[in-house]
Amino acid sequence: MNPRVRIACLAADAARWGTTRLLHRGGGNAPGAVALRLAPNLIGELGGALERSVVITGTNGKTTTTGLAADALAAGTGGMVCNRAGNNMESGIASALVESRGAGAHVGCFECDELYTVRVLPALRPRALVLLNLFRDQLDRYGEIDHTQDVIAEALRRSPQTALAYNADDPLCASIAARVDNPGVPFGIDEPTGQEADRISDSRFCAKCNAPLDYAYVHYGQLGKYRCPACGWERPELAFAAVNVTLTCGGYEFDVEDRRGENYVRHHVTTRYSGLYMVYNVMAALVACLLGGGDADDFQGALDVYEPASGRGKTYRLDSGHSVVSNLAKNPTGFNRMVQQVRAEDGRYVALFLNDNDADGHDVSWIWDIDLERLRDLADLRCVCVGGTRREDMAVRVKYAELGCPIELVDGVEDALRFVAAGERLHVIANYTAFPPVVAELERLCKLGTVPNSHTPPATPPKGAAPSPVALERPLRIVHLYPDALNLYGDGGNIASLSKRCSWRGIPCRVDQVLMGQELDLTDADIVLLGGGADRDQLAVCRELQAQREKVEAYVEGGGALLAICGGYQLLGHYYMMGGERVEGLHVLDIETTAGTTRLIGNVAIESPVCDTPIVGFENHAGRTVLGAGEKPLGRAMIHGTGNNGEDGGEGVLHDGVVGTYLHGPILPKNPGVTDWLIERALRRRGEKVDLAPLDDSLELLAHDVAMRIATGR
């Protein structure tokens, strides 16, 4: 160890002592951050002393997979270094290496944040990088998934001897493998499992030619067996394949076939954890163990005794007779997996905690891509409690799911337990920074020995009289364009807002989806929604619409109501920039979008003639849009530096019946006035004389006011 690294380690020891002894906090990232400032090459120096190491990354499942793989590797080697607490940035890995020095560790197993792989892999040079999956997550921090893919690919190029073990069922992972020369070890589930596919996936487009992929079967999200009908790109042949996947009363059991040699080696695996995502996590951990030099014989024993870190998936049994299951989920895919578990257990009481701190991402649009509607299948759902810094947004999401049970705003788990009958189970699902307080509160309640049991039955909201049906010649037709491609910003919430607010007033309506490759028919459309997506997906939609631009142009010129969000807004103009490439738009609006050097990210509020109250939302765009002389903005930004381009003070465009905007969140649920403007516009265009009956917008306005306070500071 060179003197500089030795001094850095001593400074890290002092930082850990001060953090844990004086501040009474976990060591976490602080020791590593101190050490790296003094010795930037510390990971390479200390990691180079290990005989071998593996790194695990991906959107979901990193901590569970890393802990399980580390346990299996430790069983065979004894000396193990691992950042088990989930401190997965460069400083967290450095902290783990500093703390373990001199302890005889021979093997390393590290969880790494996706964006930090480019700094960790070249320094550590592990045997393998295990890539679990890629889903949208914290878009205001990570950007689009394309950016995450670029970072991981660059990390692998800088560590060419590192093998890439990747989830081949995920085309977003497989596309990275196709771009790099590192040895590839694809793994996946090699049979249909009969699971319900998610309503929304992050990308089902070919990495080679951008055509829509065909799937033989889908497990969830974009994970499954796929093939491109246009160019033939398909899921790679699996080196490790899960087969005979069977759901048992206690979890899953399956076989993992090692197909790397001429003769398959089969490993039977049983796990007491439910959820198909755990099949992937367990299989990935086994692959990491084998690539890290471990023995498959040690794996099942490690799996049998493994407990997820930090209270994840744990059941707490309280003296009051309650039991509480705590689950972490930080993006739509993770939440959907937890929703499936609640359904599998016939849950009666559910608590959802949503924060919007830096580590969570400040944009909460993603909650509208959670399939909460699946909870309607529960036989006796009695209450849904919502908590966290953005509990009002979650309450609106639950309201629009129409679960048929009361919604209670709570301050924490103990508060939620007031609404849970004695002897019943509460299922808690919390996002990233909301989860540790949930676990801390549950541990406190367990130590307390007695839990305040002032049971307050949830207040069932009074049911008003069913609205009188509004007589229309035909239902309002709401057309959602390409939700299979443009799905980044919770546009399902915009559709829900339009359809529910019609339904609650007795106005007949129907929602038609136009998917990629389908014929576009707007002849009898009343409201059209064009959302936003990743660059690759947006480009595919642009090509699709360019062949049918006359239909969009005729609809707009005929006064049709159209809501265009972010990328959809840009598409309506003359052109927009994708990297250094100019992409021709539809020329429907007189707007142009160039590329900015930075992204405009944050909560926004604008004053608009569309409704009496300010419109709130969240922007996240690099494009700088300028309106032509004949166009007018949707509104004036109340915060300097936000809006179309951050300079002229305008946000969006209001062109006859067209509302184009960078605001998501999504925009309509928190701004019912905008929703009603679109509905009224559609009815007037058809000559219908319908006065929109007032609705109870108390939850919507609470969510609006929270966003307003965040945006304006008042």
- Reported as a single tens digit per residue, the pLDDT across 621-633 is 999 999 999 999 9
For residue 565, which amino acid is it? I
**Higher pLDDT, residue 704 or 135:** 704
Strand partners, 243: 255
**Per-residue pLDDT band at 490 (split at 50, 70, 90):** confident
* pLDDT value at residue 80: 87
**The pLDDT of residue 536 is above 80:** no
- Reported as a single tens digit per residue, the pLDDT across 53-110 is 999 999 888 988 999 999 999 886 668 899 887 688 999 999 999 888 877 788 999 9
- Reported as a single tens digit per residue, the pLDDT across 284-301 is 999 999 999 998 988 999
The Cα 502–Cα 400 span in angstroms is 12
- 270: tokens are 């049983």
* pLDDT value at residue 252: 87
pTM here? 0.81
- Reported as a single tens digit per residue, the pLDDT across 22-55 is 665 665 788 888 999 999 999 999 998 898 999 9
CB neighbour list of residue 561: distance below 8 Å, 6 or more residues apart: 526, 527, 528, 657, 658, 659, 678, 681, 682, 685
- Reported as a single tens digit per residue, the pLDDT across 220-267 is 888 999 999 999 999 999 999 999 999 876 778 999 999 998 888 999
**The pLDDT of residue 686 is above 90:** yes
CB neighbour list of residue 471: distance below 8 Å, 6 or more residues apart: none
Strand partners, 426: 324, 349
**Per-residue pLDDT band at 551 (split at 50, 70, 90):** very high
The Cα 33–Cα 628 span in angstroms is 49
> Which of 99, 124, 123 has its CA nearest to residue 109?
124
* pLDDT value at residue 206: 86
- Reported as a single tens digit per residue, the pLDDT across 349-400 is 999 999 999 888 899 999 998 999 999 999 899 999 999 999 999 999 999 9
CB neighbour list of residue 622: distance below 8 Å, 6 or more residues apart: 595, 596, 598, 599, 600
* pLDDT value at residue 634: 98
* pLDDT value at residue 143: 54
What does each C-alpha distance from 95 to 21, 90, 181, 259, 489 come to in angstroms? 16, 9, 31, 37, 36
Q: Supply the residues annotated as catalytic.
A: 566, 664
- Reported as a single tens digit per residue, the pLDDT across 155-170 is 999 999 999 999 999 9
**The pLDDT of residue 270 is above 80:** yes
* pLDDT value at residue 65: 94
The beta strand positions in 20-65, using DSSP E, are: 52-57
